[in-house]
Structure 1
Amino acid sequence: MGEGSAAKRLPTAIYLLTFLSAIGGFLFGYDTGVVSGAMLIIRDDFKLNTLWHELIVSATIGAAMLASLGAGAATDRYGRRLVILSASLVFLVGAVVMGAAPEKVTLLVGRIIVGIGIGLASMVVPVYLSEVSPVEIRGRVTVVNNIFITGGQLVSSIISGAFSEVPMGWRYMLGLAGIPALLQLIGSAMMPESPRWLISQGRDADAMQVLEKIRPKDADLKNEIDSIKAAMADDSRQGGLKEVLSSATVRQALLIGSLLQLFQQISGINTVMYYSASIITMAGITDKSLAIWLSAATSSMNFIGTFLGLWLVERLGRRSLTLGSLLGTTVSLFMMAITFQMAYINSPKVTFSNSVSSDCSADTCGVCTSKSSCGYCFMGDRNDIMNSTCVAVNKTSFDEMSMTGWCSNSTLLSDGNATFAYDWCPYTYAWLCIVGLALYLLCFSPGMGPMPWTINSEIYPGWARATCNSITTSINWGSNLLVSLTFLTLTEVLLKHGAYIDLCVFLKITVGLLLVHSRQHLRLQ
């Protein structure tokens, strides 16, 4: 019988378990995507400055990093099922707190709670899926989690678009995450424990009962239990950090695994997902609802690209797919940098100087909006700007609609309808930035999205796997936190094109390091 026939004989329970477990990945993806659109509205409602914007976005990542560090010990002590159950409950509580938040501090607390749930789920769900899946379909089942992540990002973008024009719509965007969390909470209460964990606790009879439910009727369950015991006996030779670093081969593998996880995040993927709607508004799309819907359209590229990766990985190999993905993301980030650079160079003139504040003296819109305390008032459209000025604004308390009204009634401008631009400039070719954003996601998702996790699961010997994966997972979350916490500040200090050129430089360094080390030490195909 071939692999396809074996898969057809599998009981429905294994598909149900896969679905319920992978909801954890969906919740991770949903939160990653929904915060992008929600923050456009929250920023105005709560009068957030750049620091608070970054804190609210990044608090989830920091909490997830800390929670994932303790998740490994918790899953070994209490079992995989109980940790999944706990992650669902924590995420449900966090979603309720976020949706009901009356002010920014409560919202921050809700984001931290959600981060704890994500950290637990990101550690335990892949482990549980790999341990309950039959060997012949284990690879495909574990990849399901990645598909659920990108699917969650796409669904969240659609939800954000649907509620973008609803009063206080961000509450629905964030609060609706509680529905899949509740579904997983109910489902995980009925899920069986991992057979491997039961055997590790000396509960062979319980493990046999679980396997009888999730394996074909003709499966050799005794042989599978014996194989699990043999693998666990081999893994009992686990080494700590000292043993890992004392082995030259494992050190080289750990270097590549760490670089892959580090540069997956430094390449800017979660920055793009967290701030995609903000990036689109920076490009000159003034309508928030349109910006959120365009963010949803670009998110679909990430979802489609995941399936493209499934199709290409066995044809191109892990190494070629990863390096090709890196090259594509470098080109697309460079394209975005050039677009923002051209918008800055070709930004419209300031026709009236602002005598109220010398800090906002500027001759072009690009110079004006590069200052965090200034905004650009103009009349006309992006192709025909008649009058304009650069004005001071209190970024912690300004309201965009009131500033637009002030611009319209300003004596510096002719009476009529005016537009206020706080962090963008009118630019005819803003669509090029959106194309670059979509291209980036399409290039990232087949290779640099799943491959760091796949490669890290394959390149370590059994005795070093737990230690090395713990190190590389922490590096992933830590670098994710660093990038997301500093991105908006970088766009103010280095300007938008500078921030993207910075990411491109990191990517080129990565390509060079991987070209040298992966072929020489890991022989990745």
Structure 2
Amino acid sequence: MGTMEIEGGNEKPKLNKYALACAIVASLINCIFGYDTGVLSGANIFVKDDLKLNESQIEILAGTLNLSALVGSAIAGRTSDMIGRRYTIVVASLIFLIGAILMGYSPNYAILMTGRCIAGVGVGFSLMIAPVYSTEISSSSHRGALSSLPEICISVGILTGYISNLAFSKLPLKLGWRMMFGIAAIPAIALVFAILQMPESPRWLAMQGRLKEAEEVLLLVSDTKEEAKSRFRDLKLAAGIDENCKEDVVIPSKKIASGAGVWKELFIRPTPTVRRIMLAAWGIHFFQHLTGIEAVVLYSPRIFKKAGVMGKQKLLLATVGVGVTKLLFILVATFNLDKFGRRRLMLTSVSGATTALIVLGFCLTVVDHAKKQLLWALCLSIISTYTFVAFFSIGLATVTWVYTAEIWPLRLRAQGASVGVAINRAMNATISMTFISIYEAITIGGAFFMFAGFATLAGVFFYFFMPETKGKALEEIEMLFTPEGSKAHQQKTEEVVV
């Protein structure tokens, strides 16, 4: 049970260790997704040589993970409403296991693509369920930190994938890249057993009418007994149950228990409040990958090669720096989300990322037209790439998943979040499958100038459509998106210097 400490005369809740442990275990599923993303950046060099693939096939291989994630995200929301958040994570782990085994075995391109497609379905599940579970298990005082853990795990996975590229690159060609892909099966197996030790989300239990179980979980994951009682009262109301109900188990509305009717509420008859939430949640997902992060994560060896870095080992080593930078600055964001708030970090993030993209585009354009290697342009290209990743990580990477999981009402959260994941993966696939073609058409420098333009548009969108949610209970956040609530919030919102 969480305890309280006195700071400046005010009671400040300590982080509940049980809630932290639950959020960590749930978030580990995203380590496998991150690994599958990061490992391809180096593995595709060896896959191309071994299987004699062309550039188009490499682009398709890169984008397949995200296209398949559309399928996973389309069914993950309803699945989690039906079988629970915990067992949905188990399903995702098993899907990753099958995908890793097929990719590690792959005697040809067709089997490799099949394994990649199956792993992609797991991506759709993991990206939806990890933030939702972490959000629902967290108290409002630490929700930002715990809900950002899935993004930390993605970064850990990406960095591990880069390191795996280095480690297995010295093996024989036919074995090396297969080991890079296949080794992901090991954490997938371990995770299944770990997840079964976790409690179910108290909000899902309330939706099922299992009030006694929900209350017991809340007592474990809340900072105080008083907070547990307050959260229990709020989630009963959110689940359509009388707050004075003393029953251990009630028969919930079939519509609430199964998540039926959510699609109609989202797409056919949304209220003004739901429309505002949809615009904010799905808009953030739309813009996140238009800033070009996937081009950097997947194709950083190519970017550094264009800048003037030579040799496979040097390229892979420079790429490891991308992974290290991403992880470090996501940790920075995690420790500051509940201090500075979502909105301020997001606006700072997009401003810095835009500037870094402009500098990177300029350097790559200069290198492209130079007749000899320019050391200053090479160094500045690497620095601006790392700077872009750093600024992306403190807001766009972390806040996107925290914010879009917490602003949905309980009845819409899982399926609303799943649509957001589908949009996110569609944009991700668009960038990953077209980046090579884009930079061949408008030069690599031109491609990053294009991303800078998209990032500017993203900043404008975030400024006008993203109210602050820091410190708000999940059941209170919906009020920020009502016409009256948004006006009141706008009057109170402090000026953010960008």
TM-score normalised by the shorter chain: which range applies?
0.7 to 0.9
Quote the residue 1:30 is aligned against. Answer: 35
CA contact (8 A) 2:144 2:338 kept: no
Secondary structure class of the residue paired with 1:233: coil
Q: Which shifted more, 505-514 or 111-120? A: 505-514
Q: CA deviation at 1:158?
A: 1.8
| Residues 1:434 and 2:382 aligned together | yes
- 3-state DSSP class of the match of 1:292? helix
Offset at residue 460 of structure 1 (A) = 5.3
Residue pair 2:356, 2:387 contacting (<8 A) in 1 also: yes
Find the partner of 1:304 among 301, 305, 328.
328
**What SS is found at the alignment partner of 2:383?**
helix
Q: Aligned residue for 1:93? A: 98
Instruction: State the one-letter code of the partner of 2:288.
Output: Q
The SS at the match of 2:171 is: coil
Which of 307, 311, 336 in structure 1 is aligned with 2:360? 336
Is residue 2:18 matched to residue 1:18? no
* Structure 2 unaligned residues grouped into runs of 5+: 242-254, 468-485
**Higher share of residues assigned helix:** 2
Report the equivalent of 1:154. Answer: 159
Return the letter of the residue paired with 1:259.
G
Gaps of 5+ in 1: 349-381, 384-426
Which digits, 9 at most, give the CA deviation of each residue in 1:433-453, with x for residues without a partner? Answer: 222211110111001112223
CA distance in 2, matches of 1:316, 1:221: 25
- Candidates 64, 68, 71, aligned match of 2:69: 64
AA aligned to 2:99 is G
Q: Which amino acid aligns with 2:359?
A: M
The yes-or-no answer on 1:105 pairing with 2:129 is no
What residue in structure 1 maps to residue 47 of structure 2?
Answer: 42
Change (3 A) 1:187 1:462: closer
Alignment check: 8 A CA contact 1:80 1:124 kept: yes
Q: Any idea what SS the aligned residue of 2:330 has?
A: helix
Larger CA Rg, structure 1 vs 2: 1
1:11-410 superposed matches below 5 A: 13-167=18-172, 168-207=175-214, 210=217, 224-233=231-240, 239-244=265-270, 247=272, 250-314=274-338, 316-347=340-371
Structure 2: distance between partners of 1:511 and 1:92: 38
Could you tell me how far 1:172 is from its partner in structure 2?
Answer: 2.0
| Paired amino acid for 2:196 | A
CA distance in structure 2 between the partners assigned to 1:222 and 1:25 by the alignment: 31
Deviation at 1:61, TM superposition (A): 0.5
- Structure 1 residues 507 and 173, CA gap change in structure 2 (3 angstroms): same
Aligned residues, how many?
Answer: 446
Q: 1:297 to 1:482 in 2, by over 3 A?
A: same
2:371 aligned counterpart, secondary structure: coil
* Partner AA of 1:180 in structure 2: P
Q: 1:488, CA displacement in angstroms? A: 0.9
Answer whether contact 1:87 1:117 (CA < 8 A) is retained. Answer: yes
1:193 deviates by 2.6
- CA shift, 1:456, in A, is 2.9
CA contact (8 A) 1:37 1:157 kept: yes
Q: 1-side partners of 2:457 and 2:141: how far apart? A: 37
Change in CA separation of 1:515 and 1:82 when aligned onto 2, cut-off 3 Å = closer
**Partners in 1 of 2:419 and 2:275 — Cα distance?**
12
Q: Distance in 1 between matches of 2:147 and 2:464?
A: 29
% identical equivalent positions: 30
User: What is the aligned-residue RMSD (CA, Å)?
Assistant: 3.1
What is the TM-score with the length of structure 1 in the denominator?
A: 0.76
TM-score (normalizing by structure 2): 0.80
